[in-house]
């Protein structure tokens, strides 16, 4: 349990690192994946794992990397527009995207908890961002849209990762994440070219934050969660992983002075409750889940 708690808290700082650095969002996403991938490469080498991926498995992991690259692209921009807390909360709406895919594609039946969670999430979202929607700036509204697009890409990432793990031999979790991280870094580097984003890290302070982002956001947090997720009851897993958006919201208030109203707090509480109810069934069956 303490590993799961520690992993969720570490992951919750991801959005904080994005906000702290002075580089563009595309650059911070690239260095998260590059530094994290290189560290994972070192771990795979230290464990003396044999990296041998067949072509179908490698192709599927590339699909995973595409979804993850899109996830980070949208999420990092959403963080800058609406703040770490709301951006992370919106990204976790992926549970409802997965529920919709389950119904439409896999002909699954929604549980009572999931049926209750959907209107609860909509109400929470309206209270969070919809009450004074017209009065918000264009950047803020765009940030909300990007946050919801992040949720869609996050769901695609989880579905592709599950398909890669169950359909073909992809090696250990370390090998899988290493391949995805380095592939994702390459895709993000290509995406930086049309934006004319620079690879230059302006100073040592930014370099330190970016290394910490790769270590905590891409390696340590994920390793702790993956090592503990199968040893804790499913209901507890779903509840503990909600620490990520909750803590991200708290860090937004403490570190960046985010102001909030009673209506917004009520919306956040309803949204968190809805995410938990919507994820109860899935946490019983998924053995791999990585927060953004």
Say how far apart CA 213 and CA 25 lie, in whole Å.
13
Digitized pLDDT (tens) for each residue of the chain, 292 residues in all: 888 889 889 999 999 999 999 999 999 999 999 999 999 999 999 988 877 777 777 888 899 999 999 999 999 999 999 999 999 999 999 989 988 988 898 888 888 888 899 899 999 998 988 777 778 899 999 999 999 999 999 999 988 887 876 655 556 778 888 999 999 999 999 999 888 889 999 999 999 999 999 999 989 987 888 777 767 776 667 677 788 899 999 999 999 998 888 888 999 999 999 988 887 765 444 444 454 6
46 alpha-carbon distance from chain centroid: 27
Say how far apart CA 96 and CA 62 lie, in whole Å.
24
pTM: 0.89
User: 197-225 b/e with 16+ CB inside 10 Å = b?
Assistant: beeebeeeebeebbbbbbbbbbbbbbbbb
Distances 115 to 99, 155, 235, 261 between C-alpha atoms, Å: 10, 18, 17, 28
Q: Is the dihedral of CA 128, 99, 36, 198 positive or negative?
A: negative
Which residues touch 105 (CB under 8 Å, ≥6 apart)?
Answer: none
pLDDT in tens, 89-106: 999 999 899 889 888 988
Are residues 275 and 131 in contact, defined by beta-carbon separation less than 8 angstroms?
Answer: no
pLDDT in tens, 44-54: 999 888 777 77
E strand spans, the chain: none
Say how far apart CA 14 and CA 11 lie, in whole Å.
6
């Amino acid at each position: 349990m303490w590993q799961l708690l520690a992993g969720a808290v570490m992951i919750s700082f991801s959005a904080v690192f994005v906000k702290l650095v002075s580089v563009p969002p595309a650059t911070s996403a690239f260095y998260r994946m590059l530094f994290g991938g290189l560290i994972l490469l070192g771990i795979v080498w230290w464990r003396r794992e044999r990296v041998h991926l067949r072509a179908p498995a490698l192709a599927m992991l590339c699909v995973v990397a595409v979804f993850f690259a899109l996830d980070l692209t949208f999420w990092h921009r959403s963080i800058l527009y609406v703040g770490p807390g709301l951006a992370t909360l919106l990204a976790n709406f992926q549970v409802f995207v997965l529920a919709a895919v389950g119904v439409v594609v896999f002909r699954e039946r929604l549980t009572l908890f999931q049926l209750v969670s959907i209107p609860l999430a909509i109400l929470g979202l309206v209270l969070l961002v919809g009450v004074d929607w017209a009065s918000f700036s264009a950047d803020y509204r765009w940030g909300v849209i990007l946050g919801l697009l992040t949720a869609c890409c996050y769901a695609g990432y989880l579905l592709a990762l599950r398909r890669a793990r169950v359909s073909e031999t992809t090696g250990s979790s370390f090998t899988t994440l290493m391949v995805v991280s380095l592939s994702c870094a390459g895709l993000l580097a290509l995406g930086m070219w049309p934006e004319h984003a620079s690879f230059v890290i302006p100073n040592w302070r930014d370099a330190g934050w970016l290394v910490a982002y790769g270590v905590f956001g891409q390696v340590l947090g994920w390793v702790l969660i993956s090592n503990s997720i199968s040893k804790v009851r499913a209901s507890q897993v779903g509840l503990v992983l909600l620490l990520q958006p909750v803590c991200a919201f708290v860090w937004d208030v403490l570190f960046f002075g985010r102001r909030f109203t009673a209506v917004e707090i009520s919306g956040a509480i309803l949204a968190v409750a809805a995410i938990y109810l919507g994820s109860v069934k899935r946490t019983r069956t998924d053995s791999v889940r990585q927060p953004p």
